[in-house]
């Protein structure tokens, strides 16, 4: 019933089944290297989205409780029941648990039941039947069953809608809001890998070093995020292969053919350049082929 009111079935399914592609999930699937929250650098999973202490998330928590209170008032909920629901959810968001001793015993059955289901699951739309029973108890309406069912569905609807808002907010923070912001953020995320590549230049086989851009800053500034991603796709493997080949040669202790030829004529220079070009072509070719 609550699901019918929210017009984003894909996202709704992800929220309800706890399969939002958070940083920790993406890392698990090898889509990215980090599991960090963009705001506080802690491990980002579904619960962290809600419990993160970044300013925007603190504001979201207030927004959620305000929206929930509004729904509860609209659905003519007894003030005590409203208070307990909002306070216990706030306690879970702040502390990560709900201490039953802080609440009147009339509400213990519902709190214990929600403890068993898991408060985190409240945010996936799984609320205890005991809350509905309490609403029945507090209200004097007839046709109680359908009344409490509609009441429960409206709580779930508000919660899921706010979870979708939270996910959209998180995505804006991670990927940017405008196209320009998205491009800048994507570029920024790729820079770590780009810098790792540049740091390895001195370990590469000397004849391959010219495959690297001359100036890191000019290269980054003049490239789009797509250019950088493509460059990484073709060069990361090549750099590794070049380092491996150079290491092997150093271990064997053999003298670089270039060093021998350099001491001879200009003709040798040309031969040498041909050899180097062949090496480099093979390196790039191997890097692409092994990727496929």
For residue 36, the minimal CB distance to Zn ion (Å) is 8
For residue 43, the minimal CB distance to Zn ion (Å) is 9
| Cβ distance to Zn ion smaller for residue 6 or 26 | 26
Pick the closest to residue 201 from 191, 214, 189 (CA basis).
Answer: 214
Which SS3 state, helix, strand or coil, does residue 36 take? strand
List alpha helices for 43-143, DSSP H: 46-51, 55-74, 79-95, 108-117, 119-122, 129-138
Asked whether the beta carbons of 234 and 286 are under 8 A apart, the reply is no
| Cβ distance to Zn ion smaller for residue 60 or 119 | 60
| Cβ distance to Zn ion smaller for residue 85 or 162 | 162
| Cβ distance to Zn ion smaller for residue 52 or 194 | 52
Q: Helix 108-117 crosses helix 79-95 at what angle (to 10 degrees)?
A: 40
For residue 16, the minimal CB distance to Zn ion (Å) is 23
| Cβ distance to Zn ion smaller for residue 15 or 37 | 37
In this structure, the dihedral spanned by the alpha carbons of residues 197, 201, 203 and 206, taken in order and rounded to 10 degrees, is 140
Query: Which residues of the chain form contacts with Zn ion (CB under 5 A)?
Result: 37, 39-40, 52
For residue 56, the minimal CB distance to Zn ion (Å) is 10
Asked whether the beta carbons of 60 and 166 are under 8 A apart, the reply is yes
For residue 33, the minimal CB distance to Zn ion (Å) is 18
């Amino acid at each position: 019933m609550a699901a019918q009111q929210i017009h984003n079935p894909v996202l709704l399914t992800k929220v309800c089944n706890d399969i939002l592609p958070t940083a920790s999930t993406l890392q698990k699937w090898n889509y990215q290297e980090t599991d960090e929250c963009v705001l506080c650098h802690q491990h980002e999973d579904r619960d962290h989205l809600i419990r993160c202490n970044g300013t925007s998330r603190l504001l979201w928590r207030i927004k959620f409780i305000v929206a929930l209170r509004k729904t509860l008032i609209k659905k003519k909920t007894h003030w005590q029941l409203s208070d307990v629901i909002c306070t216990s959810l706030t306690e879970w968001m702040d502390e990560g648990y709900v201490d039953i001793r802080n609440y009147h015993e009339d509400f213990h059955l519902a709190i214990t039941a929600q403890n068993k289901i898991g408060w985190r699951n409240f945010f996936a739309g799984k609320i205890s039947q005991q809350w509905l029973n309490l609403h029945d108890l507090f209200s004097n309406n007839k046709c109680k069953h359908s009344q409490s069912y509609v009441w429960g569905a409206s709580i779930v609807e508000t919660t899921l809608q706010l979870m979708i808002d939270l996910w959209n907010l998180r995505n804006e923070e991670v990927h940017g809001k405008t196209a320009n912001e998205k491009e800048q953020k994507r570029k920024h995320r790729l820079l770590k890998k780009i810098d790792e590549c540049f740091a390895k230049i001195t370990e590469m086989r000397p004849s391959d070093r010219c495959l690297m851009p001359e100036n890191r800053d000019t290269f980054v500034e003049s490239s789009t995020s797509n250019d950088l991603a493509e460059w990484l796709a073709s060069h990361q493997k090549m750099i590794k292969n070049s380092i491996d080949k150079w290491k092997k040669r150093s271990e064997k202790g053999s003298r670089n053919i270039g060093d021998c030829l350099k001491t001879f004529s200009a003709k040798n220079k040309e031969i040498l350049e041909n050899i180097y070009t062949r090496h480099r072509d093979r390196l790039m070719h191997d890097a692409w082929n092994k990727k496929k």
